[in-house]
Chain A
Amino acid sequence: MNVAVAKTGKGRAVSDLFTSAEGRLPGSPAVIAARREAFETYERLGLPHRRIEEWKYTDLRALVGEVLPLAAAPDAAALASAADAVKAHAVAGARKLVLVDGVFAAGLSDVKALASEVGFKTLRETLEKDAGLLKTAAVDAVISLNAAMASDGVVLSIADGAQLSAPIQIIHVATTDSASAFTRSQVAIGKGARATIIESFVAGAKAYQVNDAVIVSIGDDADVAHIRLLDDAPDAVNITSQFVTVGANTKVNFFNMTSGAAVSRLQGFIMFAGEGSELSINGVNLLQKTEHGDTTLVVDHAVPNCVSREIFRAVVDDRAHSVFQGRIIVRPDAQKTDGKMMTRALLLSDEAEADNKPELEIFADDVSCGHGATAGALDDNLLFYLKARGLPEKQAQALLIQAFVGEAIEQIADDNLREHVIGIAERWLERRS
């Protein structure tokens, strides 16, 4: 019998992570029991590694080694430094909900300015009564770890028919070096509602880790834009899991841009639960130095007559590594499914790497599904044309890179938001060596 204590890659006991945090984690006794069970699952599985198929290209044991201890609740100094980061990354006109080191910061948030149709609670409040939010449709080691350790999050419910004119921006700020934040949020969008949800991950510290989970349910006849902007510190780790269910006759526009973090993974589990819906999922990875950015999407066509479109662009410089895994599942009844994904990678150095793994699992016979992928360098003829017109090499490259990611960014309908995203991409370009 194996009685050895599970150790992290750095030789510490894995269980220390939970035992040292347990007293600070919110929740009723039932919630604490659910947390303990989730942690046992994590402890048994350990960090995902390359021999687990879904994590083949993102071996967290090799890339991360161990999960850092839970960050302390933010003090006044932490909140003050978070305020600066929030100011720098807030989208103009958006209602901000701010999580600092994994804890909701009311003083930095615009709860009072939320529209009357928006119900708001913190995860902390919700867990006093109910452990339901700790359960998700899909489970793996990092999701179990999130369930065990989640210290706070926002729980939003947008009423049926609400037409929100202002976007809601959830901003995650890290202010503690070498610590972890675990957050879990829920966004429930009612029938016929129109809303824009932005999630931003920003840095006010170094070498921190983020493990976030977001549970999104969208009712029938809704129109939703969900924008996620990962702009973490260059030595940070960000693992985010999204669980999305989409009702009938609904339009959803997802966008993710990763322009930071040493190691990041966004894993999205998206399910069509009602017919006649259209989902557009667009992503941009901007990676440099030795950054590793992974976008893994599972789009589950569980019902007929839905459309999904995935456009993904990766710009990979230096020795960075971009991963895109896209699985489209078409269930036996999901006839007339139209699911397509297109991935393009731009490799800016000989040592840059882009892995692309499309998977189509089709169990219905009357469907239209497809995928395409390309990888290549910048076109020398275009570069020369721009240089011959006076653009220095780096500026010529920047213009072509912006054009390359433009097709994905253009899918963001809101002008103001699109400009905000372009601004982040421009700052990334300026950081290139």
Chain B
Amino acid sequence: MALLEVKDLKVRVEEREILHGLTLTVNEGEVHAIMGPNGSGKSTLSHVIAGKPGYEVTDGQILFKGEDLLEMDPDERAAKGVFLAFQYPVEIPGVATMTFLRTALNAQRKARGESEYSTPDFLRKVREVSKALNIPQDMLKRGVNVGFSGGEKKRNEVLQMALFEPSLCILDEMDSGLDIDALRIAADGVNALRSPKRAMVVITHYQRLLNYIVPDFVHVMSRGRVVKSGDKELALELEASGYTQFEDAA
């Protein structure tokens, strides 16, 4: 059974159809890149998988480990193992990062019927994970993402990924707003989390990110559909020729 199956998905936002029948299959351990020009529906796809309100699915389905994802609230999806790394992680003043991480982790564990972490166990786990990702303890003492640089925000997303251990990670435009050094650090974090049990969907406009997170498959989206799929060579081809050809094809 595939980990994620998106079948002929049609999605509207305020009466306007954004996805016109998108199909995508992701298996355990695979890294898929979804590329496409602005407005092609890449972010819409990531939001619909995570369950963001404001999107109306008019046709098709999304199965995750064989279960109907569209029937679940966003928190249930997270507990089942879906993780969306946000393009723009929000700042939450007044909510301490540690409180947030612990509340979220324990909420997921509780939803799965697992025992909640005690404070010492939790602290040990965060310390272990943040050390592996080279995240300074000082960052964890602040409000969630408050005053973080673009790079720090993305590292915080990677930290959560490492802590929650999802089986599907969707990275939405992870490279946006990052300079090359910050991008490398974030990408190293992601690469460390690659595993045969975990799949990743990397959404990006630029090929650059894929030099660091090398995909098994590349899909090109245009106007709400996947118009071409291939291996990592497709990304290089796109870098050379641009998206225009696919816009015509769509």
Task: Determine if B90 and A387 form an interchain contact, defined as CB atoms under 8 angstroms apart.
Answer: no
Task: Determine if A391 and B103 form an interchain contact, defined as CB atoms under 8 angstroms apart.
Answer: yes
The CA of A283 and the CA of B164, in the complex, are separated in Å by 37
Give the one of A379, A399, A404 with max B CB within 10 A: A399
Task: Determine if B164 and A385 form an interchain contact, defined as CB atoms under 8 angstroms apart.
Answer: no
Task: Determine if A395 and B90 form an interchain contact, defined as CB atoms under 8 angstroms apart.
Answer: no
The CA of A380 and the CA of B74, in the complex, are separated in Å by 13
Min distance, Cβ B142 to any Cβ of chain A, angstroms: 13
Task: Determine if A390 and B84 form an interchain contact, defined as CB atoms under 8 angstroms apart.
Answer: no
Residues of B within 8 A of A386 (CB): 92, 100, 104
Min distance, Cβ B151 to any Cβ of chain A, angstroms: 18
Is B51 in the interface zone, CB < 8 Å from A?
yes
Given A392-B75, A395-B103, A399-B103, A387 and B51 touching (CB < 8 A)?
yes
| Interface magnitude class on chain A | 20 to 34
Min distance, Cβ A231 to any Cβ of chain B, angstroms: 23
Min distance, Cβ A315 to any Cβ of chain B, angstroms: 13
Given A384-B53, A384-B74, A387-B75, A392 and B107 touching (CB < 8 A)?
yes
Min distance, Cβ A390 to any Cβ of chain B, angstroms: 4
The CA of A385 and the CA of B83, in the complex, are separated in Å by 11
Task: Determine if A388 and B84 form an interchain contact, defined as CB atoms under 8 angstroms apart.
Answer: yes
Is A400 in the interface zone, CB < 8 Å from B?
yes
Residues of A within 8 A of B164 (CB): 389-390
Task: Determine if A393 and B75 form an interchain contact, defined as CB atoms under 8 angstroms apart.
Answer: yes
Task: Determine if B108 and A400 form an interchain contact, defined as CB atoms under 8 angstroms apart.
Answer: no
Is A406 in the interface zone, CB < 8 Å from B?
yes
Residues of A within 8 A of B2 (CB): none
Residues of A within 8 A of B105 (CB): 390
The CA of A126 and the CA of B10, in the complex, are separated in Å by 79
- In A374-415, the 8 Å CB interface with B consists of 379-382, 384-393, 395-396, 399-400, 402-404, 406-407
Chain B residue total in the interface (Cβ 8 A):
30
Given A385-B92, A402-B94, A391 and B104 touching (CB < 8 A)?
yes
Min distance, Cβ B200 to any Cβ of chain A, angstroms: 16
Residues of B within 8 A of A384 (CB): 52-53, 74
Residues of A within 8 A of B143 (CB): 403
The CA of A388 and the CA of B90, in the complex, are separated in Å by 12
Residues of A within 8 A of B100 (CB): 386, 389, 399
A387 in complex: contacting residue of B78, B92, B94, CB < 8 Å: B78
The CA of A406 and the CA of B143, in the complex, are separated in Å by 12
The CA of A402 and the CA of B89, in the complex, are separated in Å by 20
The CA of A405 and the CA of B84, in the complex, are separated in Å by 29
Min distance, Cβ A51 to any Cβ of chain B, angstroms: 40
B93 — nearest CB in chain A belongs to which residue? A403
B111 in complex: contacting residue of A379, A390, A403, CB < 8 Å: A390
Residues of A within 8 A of B108 (CB): 389-390
Residues of A within 8 A of B192 (CB): none
Residues of B within 8 A of A393 (CB): 73, 75
Min distance, Cβ A396 to any Cβ of chain B, angstroms: 8
Residues of A within 8 A of B95 (CB): 399-400, 402-403
Is B61 in the interface zone, CB < 8 Å from A?
no
Min distance, Cβ A284 to any Cβ of chain B, angstroms: 13
Is B133 in the interface zone, CB < 8 Å from A?
no
Task: Determine if B53 and A380 form an interchain contact, defined as CB atoms under 8 angstroms apart.
Answer: yes
Residues of B within 8 A of A399 (CB): 95, 99-100, 103
Min distance, Cβ A88 to any Cβ of chain B, angstroms: 25
Residues of A within 8 A of B75 (CB): 387-393, 396
Residues of B within 8 A of A389 (CB): 75, 78, 100, 104, 107-108, 160, 164
Min distance, Cβ A419 to any Cβ of chain B, angstroms: 14
Task: Determine if A387 and B103 form an interchain contact, defined as CB atoms under 8 angstroms apart.
Answer: no
Min distance, Cβ A402 to any Cβ of chain B, angstroms: 7
Is B34 in the interface zone, CB < 8 Å from A?
no
B160 — nearest CB in chain A belongs to which residue? A389
A385 — nearest CB in chain B belongs to which residue? B90
Task: Determine if A390 and B53 form an interchain contact, defined as CB atoms under 8 angstroms apart.
Answer: no
Task: Determine if A404 and B94 form an interchain contact, defined as CB atoms under 8 angstroms apart.
Answer: yes
Min distance, Cβ B182 to any Cβ of chain A, angstroms: 21
A-B contact sample (7 more), CB < 8 A, given A388-B52, A388-B83, A390-B105: A382-B90, A386-B104, A387-B51, A388-B84, A389-B107, A390-B108, A402-B94
Give chain A's interface residues, CB within 8 Å of chain B.
379-382, 384-393, 395-396, 399-400, 402-404, 406-407
Give chain B's interface residues, CB within 8 Å of chain A.
50-53, 73-75, 77-79, 83-84, 86, 89-90, 92-95, 99-100, 103-105, 107-108, 111, 143, 160, 164
Can you list 18 A-B pairs with a CB-CB distance of less than 8 A? Answer: A381-B90, A385-B86, A386-B104, A387-B74, A388-B74, A388-B84, A389-B78, A389-B107, A389-B160, A390-B104, A390-B105, A390-B111, A393-B73, A400-B92, A400-B95, A402-B95, A403-B94, A404-B94
The 3 closest A-B pairs by CB, nearest first: A403-B94, A390-B108, A390-B78
